[in-house]
Structure 1
Amino acid sequence: MKSALRAMRIGRVLLRYRLDDLLDDTPAERWLKLMRPFVPGAAPSIASMPRGARLRLALQELGPIFVKFGQILSTRRDLVPADIAEELTHLQDRVAPFDGGVARGLVERELGRSIADAYASFDTTPLASASIAQVHAATLHDGREVVVKVLRPRIEVQIAADIALLKSVAGIVERAHPNADKIRPREIVAEIENTLAAELDLQREAGNASLLRRNWENSPDLYVPEVIWSHTAEGAMTMERVRGIPSDDIKALDAAGIDRRRLAAKGVRVFYQQVFRDNFFHADAHAGNIWVDATRKQDPRFIALDFGIMGQLSSEDQYYLAENFMAIFNRDYRRIAELHVQAGWMPAHIRIDELEAAARAICEPYFTRPLSEISLAEVLVKLFRMAQRYELTLQPQLILLQKTLLNIEGVGRQLDPKIDIWAVAKPVLEQILVERYSPQRLAGEFRKRLPEMVTRAPEVPRLLHAWLQQQVEGKHELSMRSRDLAELARIAHAAQKRVVAAVLGSGLLIVAAVLYALEAGGPQLLGVPVSTWVAGLGGAWALLAAWPRR
């Protein structure tokens, strides 16, 4: 009953913002048409808005979980039209706070002790409130100022209910929408579910913050506040309190005397170092989560906040992505095409020359502009979209990286509109690649794995002997793990059976012909010559064998 009422409310909101036009020719659109007489029409000011703006307003009205849904959806530019994705990036995760007394009780429950035991002071008026949690100022008994992040009450129940509803909607869209294979609704909902599950575990977020702090300890470029582990649990997290200026508040930065050009260059370098040096990057790097330390005017640094969404790449993707960047820097389109196939992002049957020509058509126009006007993120987005036409398969983390790169470049250009992203990024990336794949680094990796190799070394002669024995006896088996290979094996097996059946059927036809020639007027079965029965059976068998199967 609750799900039905929630679905009805969603339907009313969709109609109020005229979003039924996004569901053309689907059962959902017909269901909304039935509801339309009972819903007030959209105001002219709403009806005239672009569809992305109408969707953003509808999600804000539906509540915090749908705001989070829109924020996550904005990162999937491979699945969502560009105009909608761009509009969803403007969703603000600011919602009405819940009662401070309730927050106090939740913190006590999570920490297993009273507020008075845990903190010298605890402000029940929140500093900030978002869809998943809110933040309160507090002081430890040793005098340190901290902030306490606490999950909203019963947020898990609300998220579970909304996710269940989204899964039902995704199922309907998958069955009914003509472009369901491109939208991939179940995949979107699964990604939303995984992201929200990670954000509901504040101890996991604290672990992310702790690792990022260790990677950037004593850095003049980025500061990460300290986690107070003695005051952190799954539903409440305590961190050092920091103060700074949001990175998009240009007036405040100028008033503080911050060197914005230097800060912008640092932001680009920090991003590439996080991705390619540390392989651990802040994947929600909008201005609200990236502050500037106002106490360092000539040598400014960033302050990172909110560590619920972090990104990592496999070592293979990391390598291929870095090489792609270098190929773009060097205008080596053949290399871009080869890397996309070598990385496994695209099937091996794609023609390299066609892919090279497509990459050249995308990248070359950018090089007619001054380098300071070229957006590497924009080039990367267009390359990924181009590659989709050639059966591109991307991991969600690559999409997350793409979205983060867009955020970082946006912040950099706000701070310094004339920043040459390419000039800043290329030497950093070159240096990281030299260090990562240097003989010293490879020797270090070898030393790290040496104990494992020594441990397994005694097994090698036995395994080698067993393998050679299999080869000699012809018993070596090929294990197919790929679904495609398994499907090919199934088709080949079915084809083999059809060939055998066809041969048998043809053989029966031949036997029938011989019988007919040699035994005219011979034995009969039910009044029909045996040769005719054999011919009929053979023909039917051959026909069935040749009949195409799906």
Structure 2
Amino acid sequence: MPEADQPAGQRTPVRAGSGGPGRIRTGRVARAAPLVALTGRTAGEAVISALRRKDRAGVHQRGAERYAESLGRSRGVLMKAGQILSFVSLGSLVEGSSQSVYQAALARLQDDAPPMEPELAAGVVTAELGAPPQEVFAEFEPDPLAAASIGQVHAATTHDGRRVVVKIQYPGVDEAIRADLANAELLATFFQLIRGVLPDLGHTDARALAAEVTERIGEEIDYRVEAVNQQAFADAYRGHPFARVPEVLPEYSTARVLTMERSDGMRWAQARQADQELKNQWGEAVYRFTLGSLRRLGRFNADPHPGNYLFHPDGTVTFLDFGCVKTWDTAQVGWMVRAVQAAIDGDADELLKQYTAQGFVPGEPPEPKALLAWARESLAPVLAEQPFTYTPEFAARIVDLEFSPRGPHSAVVQRLALPGEYLALSRIDLGLTSVLAGLHAASDWRSIREEMDLGAAPATRLGELEAAYREARS
């Protein structure tokens, strides 16, 4: 069985440079080999071909497991693509009967990637904090709570009694990711993998998108950047009635080790089995945190996948992983609000004006009414009769109708370009939609949007709680 599934203590020993658990192979050929070897094609062709193959269910199952395992061991850029595919509706990328097979296999990448050996984790802590973890902390659990694409987290207790988690970066992962970002084939694979879940706009400058991806992922491998991001959110949401952000412990944090308060809660799989009323509260909390942070802080957590949430029985949500945060200035936030309002108002000319001003229209503009119809697709949750329920079918529809260059809005899509700085918007939009769809979350989304953008009175209990919280802090 795969090493990641073996009991602790029975995994294959790691040798320097072996590419075993926790040891990252950084050579270009070595990094591409796991995927290329699966079919003998290029890495991107291999994965896309497998996703599109229409074979018997058993073949789909075996193929999905093989690709999930290979992506999980690749770390870095390719694993992140697998994580995106694991929770975002696959739309037309995979035939309907097989979507659940691939998503079930890839779901392991959300918060249960192959871990590194305890000795390697201890070595990183020693190098970064100046002493072994058993000395730095009063208690330190050698087996990780979870492992992801860049690092893994361990439970610990400080000498003054604080319960914490210690996020430890895999040895060599920074070099491996930088090699990924400089490797043309692997970067092409990344874009092929996410082509089904990000806009394929006809005039988009691929180099600009590559530069944005490089910058965002490059930031993630420096935990000092994540610490600053997380503390900014923790400061803004301290004492909040339904959104929790763990505090960072800077004295135990470096570029490769990040220590924060420990939070206990339900993971995604368990949360999806909860009562619908509770899932509705969680969905509204995620929605308000994600969009409210943009309005108030000019910041988006640009990695909205289910592994980054902990769900609590009282309806609150803990938000984790701030390695990928996109910041916009006041003018950019104002543009987003105006563009949404123009689409809601049905003002096609104003919408085209807003899109043109931000560089989305590089050449001949689309017909204004066609642009309006395209923009309103993703606004169904606020345009439809309230309350509106997010469903997987709605999420798939958004992928197929809004982002397909061959769909009913192709005349619009092919005339638009996606400026690199707005790439995160698509990832956030689709990620948030998929999370809410996974919860089947229902609420009066229109009124919530009007609270944020128009200053309307709160229409939900969470809205009233948040308004009181903001007033108390003002």
Give TM-score scaled by structure 2 length.
0.69
Counterpart selection for 1:226 from 238, 247, 251: 247
Counterpart selection for 1:125 from 143, 148, 151: 143
Structure 1 residues 63-462: aligned runs within 5 Å = 63-65=74-76, 67-71=78-82, 83=93, 90=106, 92-93=109-110, 94-166=112-184, 170=188, 189-247=210-268, 249-250=270-271, 253-254=274-275, 259-294=278-313, 297=314, 300-347=315-362, 350=365, 354-360=367-373, 363=376, 370-373=385-388, 386=409, 389=413, 391-431=415-455
Flag the 1:399–1:53 CA change in 2: closer, same or farther, 3 A. Answer: farther
Question: Structure 1 residue 2: deviation in Å?
Answer: 5.6
CA RMSD, 1 decimal = 4.5
Question: Structure 1 residue 418: deviation in Å?
Answer: 3.6
- Tell me, in whole angstroms, the C-alpha distance in 2 between the residues paired with 1:207 and 1:414: 30
Provide Cα deviations, 1:162-201, integer angstroms capped at 9, x if missing partner: 4443358759x99xxxx99879665565444333321211
Are the counterparts in 1 of residues 383 and 446 from structure 2 also a CA contact under 8 Å?
A: no
- Tell me, in whole angstroms, the C-alpha distance in 2 between the residues paired with 1:272 and 1:265: 11
Are the counterparts in 2 of residues 127 and 137 from structure 1 also a CA contact under 8 Å?
A: yes
Match of 1:541 in 2: none
Number of equivalenced pairs: 399
Flag the 1:184–1:71 CA change in 2: closer, same or farther, 3 A. Answer: farther
- Tell me, in whole angstroms, the C-alpha distance in 1 between the residues paired with 2:188 and 2:44: 16
Match status 1:11 vs 2:11: no
Question: Is the partner of 1:245 in helix, strand or coil?
Answer: coil
Are the counterparts in 1 of residues 224 and 255 from structure 2 also a CA contact under 8 Å?
A: yes
Provide Cα deviations, 1:226-285, integer angstroms capped at 9, x if missing partner: 10111111111111111112355346644xx97443333333222221111211122212
Provide Cα deviations, 1:64-97, integer angstroms capped at 9, x if missing partner: 235435248769x9xx996279979855243221
Question: Is the partner of 1:126 in helix, strand or coil?
Answer: coil
Question: Is the partner of 2:303 in helix, strand or coil?
Answer: coil
- Tell me, in whole angstroms, the C-alpha distance in 1 between the residues paired with 2:414 and 2:356: 10
Match of 1:453 in 2: none
Question: Is the partner of 2:288 in helix, strand or coil?
Answer: helix
* 1:285 alignment partner AA: P
The structure whose Rg is larger is 1
Question: Is the partner of 1:288 in helix, strand or coil?
Answer: helix
* 1:275 alignment partner AA: L
Question: Is the partner of 1:68 in helix, strand or coil?
Answer: helix
Question: Is the partner of 1:275 in helix, strand or coil?
Answer: helix
Provide Cα deviations, 1:419-476, integer angstroms capped at 9, x if missing partner: 34333323322129xxxxxxxxxxxxxxxxxxxxxxxxxxxxxxxxxxxxxxxxxxxx
Flag the 1:430–1:369 CA change in 2: closer, same or farther, 3 A. Answer: closer
- Tell me, in whole angstroms, the C-alpha distance in 2 between the residues paired with 1:103 and 1:22: 31
Match of 1:507 in 2: none
Higher relative contact order (CA 8 A, sep 6+): 2
374-383 or 139-148, which moves further after superposition? 374-383
Question: Is the partner of 1:249 in helix, strand or coil?
Answer: helix
- For structure 1, the residue ranges without an aligned partner over 5 or more in a row are 25-41, 433-550
Are the counterparts in 2 of residues 13 and 58 from structure 1 also a CA contact under 8 Å?
A: no
Question: Is the partner of 2:121 in helix, strand or coil?
Answer: helix
- Tell me, in whole angstroms, the C-alpha distance in 1 between the residues paired with 2:424 and 2:95: 13
Question: Is the partner of 1:327 in helix, strand or coil?
Answer: helix
Question: Is the partner of 2:116 in helix, strand or coil?
Answer: coil
- Tell me, in whole angstroms, the C-alpha distance in 1 between the residues paired with 2:43 and 2:177: 26
